Each structure stands twice: as C-alpha cells, then as structure tokens.
Amino acid sequence: MQHNHNFDWMGGIPVDEEFKNAVCPICKNRRPKIGWKRDFTCAELQAATEGFSLKNFLSEGGFGFVYRGELNGLKIAVKQHKNASLQGEKEFKSEVQFLSKARHENLVMLLGSCSDGNSRLLVYEYICNGSLDQHLSSKSKTTSKGFFHFPF
C-alpha cells in the first residue's frame, strides 16, 4: 500500500525526509536527524539541564515538568513525569515506542527517554518559540513571533 503522506504514522519511517536537517529560522538550532532516538542516563539529563534548575524550567503540565537543556550541542527539552512511580516500566516503554514512531515536520520529535527507578523522563527536540497551547491561550492578538491568536 502506497502512502501519500509525508510520514508513515505507525511505521515511524519518514517518506519525505526534507525536514531531516531543517534549521529553525529564529534560534538557528538544527533539527535532529530522524532515528536519533536513544536511551539516556539520569546523569546525562541532570547535566544537560543543570540539575533541572529553575533557570531551565519551561513549563508545567498535567503530566509533569519540562526543562530546557543541551546535549552534545543540541538543544533539547526534557519532560519529567510527576507521578512516575504510578507508571510501570512496561507501560513507559510502550509509550516511548509509540511516541518515537510519530514523525512529521510539524510534530515535536521524541529523541529518547530515561527510566531509572522511579524516574521517567522523555527527551524531545527543543522548540524555541513556545508551544501551541501557549499561542492559542495568548491574551494578545499577536505574539512577538508574529503568530496570530484566534478567538475560539
């Protein structure tokens, strides 16, 4: 069966690799290559986020906290699950496997994970201009980056 999409949702294999080495026009960060996924150690992610310091804190969501970091010159975002002890190893690995297969130029790429004891961490590519929910919930008509607010 031939796919006419520019990604293969369940197979995780990109059909169109144009975005493989895309560069962010704002911060000049190069998008990581597809297939860079790996298992990280807690020590690596502690170092990358400077100990999950407040200066690297980006946001808090229903599932956890997100921190900015840098790993081997690549800007990353690390999501630290709040209730990691409630999620078993098998469930976490299953979630990582599913998320790592979702590939599209408009999706934030999962780069890897860390599961150590009760720690459950997901490592994503860093997006410098904020999240979609930040833009949609903005109080102003436009943001400093030129995105428009649509009153839903």
Could you write out the DSSP letters of every residue in 68-118? Answer: EEEETTEEEEEEEETTGGGS-HHHHHHHHHHHHH---TTSPPEEEEEEETT
**Does the predicted model carry a pTM greater than 0.85?**
no
Average pLDDT, the chain: 73
Higher model confidence: residue 67 or residue 7? 67
**Domain range list for the chain:** 18-136
CB-CB contact of 59 with 106 (8 Å): no
Element containing residue 38 per DSSP (H, E): strand 38-39
Quick: pLDDT tens for 90-132: 888 888 888 887 777 777 888 899 988 888 999 998 887 766 6
Which pair of structure tokens corresponds to residue 132? 């979609």
Question: C-alpha distances in angstroms, 133 versus 43, 137, 149, 150?
Answer: 30, 6, 11, 12
CB-CB contact of 75 with 127 (8 Å): no
How many Å apart are CA 14 and CA 7, to the nearest integer? 5
Q: What is the CATH number of domain 18-136?
A: 3.30.200.20
